[in-house]
A = this chain, B = another copy of it.
Amino acid sequence: MTAAILCIGTELTRGELVNTNSAWLAEALTMRGFEVTALDSTDDDRERIKSVLRRLGAEHELVVCTGGLGPTTDDLTTESVAELLDVPLERDEGSFEAIRERLERYGRKMAASNAKQADFPRGARVLPNKQGTAPGFCLEIGRALAFFLPGVPREMKAMFESELVPRLPRSDALIQQVLLKTFGLPESAVNDQLAGVEAEHGVTLGYRAHFPEIEVKVIARDDSAERALCRAQRAADAVRERLGNDVVYGEGDVTLAEAVGRLLVERKLMLGLAESCTGGLLAELLTDRSGASAYFAGAIVSYSNELKERLLGVPEALLREHGAVSSPVARAMAEGARSALGADVALSVTGVAGPTGGTPEKPVGLVHYAVATPEGTVDRHLNFPGTRQNIRLRSAFAALGLLRRVLLHGLD
């Protein structure tokens, strides 16, 4: 069964908005066994809306359409559908009341523009919207079952789950997926190391570069959900085996910082940070998810040499002799942070994020980072390409990667 997604709105065709609804719907329908072959967008133009819908209704079994259900005069989706099917618009009293009540709750009166949102093409099934004023509807266009949902992502997603999923034509194939998060290998290397897994396990592997990480999606299709999940998990185990746990740091929604946080909690260790070129980014990544206070003590962002001395106790002689971007200073920063923040382990980063400030000896992209533990200190350096933002992000991830390896394998 093929499906098409149509997003309606002049804000899309003018490029004022990046369309995230399409990808979300495409993934949701793919996971339910549909072959999505067209993602179209068109502007708020009656003739074009009719023409696209006529075509999609002739070519697909399912059409999911978002946008153009709002109260203003440029919201034309409902009227266009009625014209296309040559049926009148009819007021739905239940929707009318729901809209009136919703507006009243926010102290607003019902205007003619809002009343229009309670009108639907004759024969349509109305789909209630619990998150906003615009209800959706579904009906048949050509050979397709066509759903019309509002364009606001939050409302669209809630209605997809509550109204659309229960009415979807059942697909025979059931799809399950396991998402593995990896860091430390480039996409081509991940790809090469996983050659043959698809054939061996009867699954599809999808790669998504989520800079600087690579996500590996293991997708299995079978005639029961249990069998599909079992197959996906066996293949995921094979992926873990091939890439190793140093590269695969987690499954599902977890971030690298969170995975590091879980290791710290397991080992009952508090972490402190000394940041220079990453300027707070590492602290931000570590506190992005809740629960960080169980492993994160705090951070000192020492952007100047003076603060490296004053707050982290980096000896002035070290800074003079080796410069702020150097192995000895990275080590002294980590050790200083451990003591200043009263932490069990500390991570430091110092580098040249650019785009200015590079020298032949210390070019833009050179980054030193270190982990200090009660057993000793280890440091590494790398030379990153890319923009300032890329260099900062890579530095933060590289430092987290080093900390993760130290937590897993010790100093060595």
Report A's interface with B, CB cutoff 8 A.
11-20, 22-30, 36-43, 45, 48, 52, 55, 206, 208, 217, 273, 275, 278-284, 286-290, 292-293, 296-304, 306-307, 310-311, 340-342, 353-357, 388-389, 392
- Minimum CB–CB distance from A329 to chain B (whole Å) comes to 15
Q: A45-B37, A303-B298 are in contact. Are A24 and B15 (CB under 8 A)?
A: yes
Is there an interface contact between B290 and A283, defined as CB atoms closer than 8 Å?
A: no
Chain B residues with CB under 8 A of A55? 55
Chain B residues with CB under 8 A of A15? 22-30, 36
- Minimum CB–CB distance from A254 to chain B (whole Å) comes to 15
Chain B residues with CB under 8 A of A340? 311
Chain B residues with CB under 8 A of A36? 13-15, 43
In the docked arrangement, what's the CA distance between A287 and B306, Å? 17
Is there an interface contact between B284 and A279, defined as CB atoms closer than 8 Å?
A: yes
Give the copy number: 2
Q: A281-B284, A293-B303 are in contact. Are A37 and B16 (CB under 8 A)?
A: no
Chain B residues with CB under 8 A of A278? 284
Is there an interface contact between A298 and B311, defined as CB atoms closer than 8 Å?
A: yes
- Minimum CB–CB distance from A269 to chain B (whole Å) comes to 14
Chain B residues with CB under 8 A of A304? 293, 297-298
Task: Please give me the 10 A-B residue pairs with the lowest Cβ-Cβ distance, nearest first.
Answer: A280-B283, A279-B287, A15-B27, A15-B26, A280-B280, A299-B301, A39-B41, A280-B284, A18-B23, A15-B23
Q: A287-B303, A298-B311, A301-B280 are in contact. Are A14 and B37 (CB under 8 A)?
A: no
Chain B residues with CB under 8 A of A52? 38
Is there an interface contact between A290 and B355, defined as CB atoms closer than 8 Å?
A: yes
- Minimum CB–CB distance from A349 to chain B (whole Å) comes to 12
Chain B residues with CB under 8 A of A310? 342
Chain B residues with CB under 8 A of A284? 278-281, 283-284
Q: Which residue of B lies closest to A206 (CB)?
A: B16
In the docked arrangement, what's the CA distance between A320 and B24, Å? 47
Known: A11-B206, A298-B300. 8 other contacts (CB 8 A): A15-B22, A18-B18, A18-B19, A37-B43, A275-B280, A279-B283, A283-B284, A289-B388
Q: A20-B18, A279-B286 are in contact. Are A307 and B298 (CB under 8 A)?
A: yes
Q: A18-B18, A45-B37, A340-B311 are in contact. Are A353 and B290 (CB under 8 A)?
A: yes
Is there an interface contact between B39 and A26, defined as CB atoms closer than 8 Å?
A: no
Is there an interface contact between A41 and B38, defined as CB atoms closer than 8 Å?
A: yes
Is there an interface contact between A307 and B13, defined as CB atoms closer than 8 Å?
A: no
Is there an interface contact between B23 and A17, defined as CB atoms closer than 8 Å?
A: yes
Subset of 9 A-B contacts with CB under 8 Å:
A13-B36, A15-B26, A38-B52, A279-B287, A283-B301, A288-B389, A290-B388, A299-B301, A307-B342
In the docked arrangement, what's the CA distance between A232 and B17, Å? 21
Chain B residues with CB under 8 A of A14? 26-27, 30, 36, 206
In the docked arrangement, what's the CA distance between A299 and B337, Å? 13
Is there an interface contact between A22 and B37, defined as CB atoms closer than 8 Å?
A: no
Is there an interface contact between B16 and A217, defined as CB atoms closer than 8 Å?
A: yes
- Minimum CB–CB distance from A252 to chain B (whole Å) comes to 16
Q: A280-B281, A288-B389 are in contact. Are A37 and B13 (CB under 8 A)?
A: yes
- Minimum CB–CB distance from A178 to chain B (whole Å) comes to 15
Chain B residues with CB under 8 A of A40? 38-41
Is there an interface contact between A279 and B292, defined as CB atoms closer than 8 Å?
A: yes
Is there an interface contact between A37 and B48, defined as CB atoms closer than 8 Å?
A: yes
- Minimum CB–CB distance from A241 to chain B (whole Å) comes to 24
- Minimum CB–CB distance from A29 to chain B (whole Å) comes to 8
Chain B residues with CB under 8 A of A45? 37
Chain B residues with CB under 8 A of A24? 15
In the docked arrangement, what's the CA distance between A357 and B22, Å? 36
Q: Which residue of B lies closest to A18 (CB)?
A: B23
